[in-house]
Structure 1
Amino acid sequence: MSIVLITLGGTIAMGGVDAGRPGVVTRLTGADLTAAVPGLADLGVPLDVRDVRAVPSASLTYRQVLDVVDVASAAVADGATGVVVTQGTDTLEESAYLADLVWRHPAPLVFTGAMRNPTLAGPDGPANLLAAVRVAAAPAACDLGVLAVMNDEVHAARWVRKTHSTSTATFASPNAGPVGHVIEGAVRVLARPERREPLPRVDPNRLDATRVALYTVTLDDDGLLLGGITEGHHGLVVAGFGVGHVPADLAPLLGDLAARMPVLLTSRSGAGSVLRRTYGAVGSEADLRRRGLLDGGLLDPYKGRILLRLLLAAGLGGEALDTALARFR
């Protein structure tokens, strides 16, 4: 049994400052992180530590995340029991979801990080890393897909959200709850969501060239920011009100866009699904579907953007695109 630890920087590794500049920056290596975790050596699980990069997660790219998936896949093929990835929490939910869409192995791939950096009282990084290693090594965590482990909770990547800017309890799965917990050092899996067939590998160059915009609808929205969006993008995700509504004046514009590119309708609410046929007014979910917008279901806007970009980069369109979306929404 062995676990590979891949480090990408983030708050969990921010243990230093730059002269003349306020705020902490990444300074800690994977060896530094593991040395700061009480009880980690007592697990008896060999750790293969790999420092891949050290950047704030706000600067990560799809290509870099998929490169990490490749490293993790090779590690599992070489016999690793599981893989843990440490990164900043700003984009952890997106990185984990992107990885989950292409992760083909039963072995756990676990993302974790920290909300309090190591220079503060009560940093949560050591506890989160210990819990993540426990989960990655646990037979019960196999075949759950990609997981996010924070605050002794185990979340499926497909559902997890960052819900608070500073709280150590920020990560939650509003639509489903955690799939498990770490209790007195034991991994307890309480729910086993159905694994979906992962997407085939996408050519990185095609992925880089495929652009999907995200537009959040607001009160009295004039839609001016949508002007010219088709010139630089291949798809659009709309984060609508509630169950998928927009101002009536915006509906014709979105319909015109849907005739020229895939437009995926999601909710900005933070939990729950867009509907399909409950409301019928202009700008309602039923009206927008009649105008050609695609149903985002339970996908939040951020996950919807990731999924749509991967599907478009794979060359899907029309009915094939809608069928593929239906597998994940």
Structure 2
Amino acid sequence: MGVALFTLGGTIAMAGAGHGGGVVSRLTGSELTAAVPGLEALGVPLVVHDTHAVPSANLTFPQVLELVAAASRAVEEGATGVVVTQGTDSLEETAWLIGLVWPHDAPFVLTGAMRNPTLAGADGPANLLAAVRVAASGEARGLGALVTFNDEIHDPRWIRKTHSTSTATFRSPNAGPVGHIIEGRVRILVRPHHHVPLPAPPGIPAFDTARVALHTVTLDDDGLLLDGLERTHQGLVVAAFGVGHVPSALAPVLGALAERMPVVLTSRSGSGSVLRSTYGAVGSETDLMRRGLVNGGLLDPYKARVLLRLLLANGAGRDAIADAFARHG
């Protein structure tokens, strides 16, 4: 059957001008593929599905999981791989969510663009061609979800959008790319380790009762933004200083919240791990874990929030959440 292509809009699909003068989503999947030099010569049949043509900032957990279900049906009907085009704003989070639940050996490859088709040097066609190559490649089977951008192949666990406009925006600071596309050939250099997929929650209501807040710790943070959080949310991710530190005045606030909901400790630094037992002052990583916070390990705050919300939507308790972060972090 070839590769199933799902299009979700975003910069890669934008053309023409809206009422305000900016580009708007106009291109269908068929129009996208028609603009890719060399795609037909690959000899890979594509079955195009246009769905959720919205900016990636508008995507929701249920929409992403609906996409996973549709992609699963395509694989069960014979597709050897899946490609999804979407906006880059939330790509690192959607790719991670998909990677957590994708149950097939068939590659699930996400890509997009930083320059829209009206600009010189638009990168969408090259990224789409590379993504189809990866999705159709035997080298990528069994690797779960992948992100292909700028002729690099990345594991969603590590990837970050690191620049607001650069075509080389996607990087994996802690690990680097797992592979490259070289002269049209897919080269996997490091095979990422994947765990047993998590189940997909049973629909929108599960997420309505699994709200997870993200609080970024800043200089002289008094924690006022966290007041009453337990009445509106069921979980919290803390993007702390450095290796997992917060102002000492914030430590008891977080400890009190950890008695009421799962609170995951991560670093706002952009790379590196939260520590466990190096520092011992009030507000240190050791102190915060003693107060009940869950160590997020190497996961950045955005990935930790995705994992925590998925776990809560599945009804996971504290022990299961701690175990999941020990495995994935």
Structure 1: which 5+ residue stretches go unaligned?
A: none
Counterpart check, 1:65 vs 2:72 = no
Give the structure-2-normalised TM-score: 0.98
SS of residue paired to 1:15: strand
CA distances 1:67-121 after superposition (whole Å, capped 9, x unpaired): 1101111101111010000000000000000001100001000000000000111
User: Residue 199 of structure 1 aligns with which residue?
Assistant: 198
User: Residue 321 of structure 2 aligns with which residue?
Assistant: 321
User: Residue 267 of structure 2 aligns with which residue?
Assistant: 267
Counterpart check, 1:91 vs 2:90 = yes
Give the structure-1-normalised TM-score: 0.98
How far residue 45 of structure 1 moved from its aligned partner, in angstroms, is 0.5
Indicate if the aligned counterparts of 1:63 and 1:208 stay in contact, CA closer than 8 A.
Answer: no
SS of residue paired to 1:110: strand
SS of residue paired to 1:104: coil
User: Residue 55 of structure 1 aligns with which residue?
Assistant: 54
How far residue 254 of structure 1 moved from its aligned partner, in angstroms, is 0.5
How far residue 145 of structure 1 moved from its aligned partner, in angstroms, is 1.1
How far residue 208 of structure 1 moved from its aligned partner, in angstroms, is 3.0
How far residue 325 of structure 1 moved from its aligned partner, in angstroms, is 2.0
SS of residue paired to 1:38: coil
Distance 1:253 1:297 in 2: 21
Structure 2: which 5+ residue stretches go unaligned?
A: none
CA distances 1:193-226 after superposition (whole Å, capped 9, x unpaired): 1121010121112123210000000011111111
Distance 1:321 1:115 in 2: 35
Distance 1:69 1:244 in 2: 33
SS of residue paired to 1:176: coil
> Identical aligned pairs, as a percentage?
69
Distance 1:312 1:222 in 2: 27
Distance 1:145 1:273 in 2: 24
User: Residue 112 of structure 1 aligns with which residue?
Assistant: 111
Indicate if the aligned counterparts of 2:65 and 2:200 stay in contact, CA closer than 8 A.
Answer: no
Indicate if the aligned counterparts of 2:297 and 2:325 stay in contact, CA closer than 8 A.
Answer: no
- What does residue range 194-273 of structure 1 map to in structure 2 within 5 Å? 194-204=193-203, 205-273=205-273
SS of residue paired to 1:133: helix
Distance 1:222 1:305 in 2: 22
User: Residue 297 of structure 1 aligns with which residue?
Assistant: 297
**Aligned-partner residue type, residue 80 of structure 1:** A
**Would you say how many aligned residue pairs link Structure 1 and Structure 2?**
328
SS of residue paired to 2:251: helix
**Aligned-partner residue type, residue 175 of structure 1:** N
Distance 2:228 2:27 in 1: 44
How far residue 181 of structure 1 moved from its aligned partner, in angstroms, is 0.1
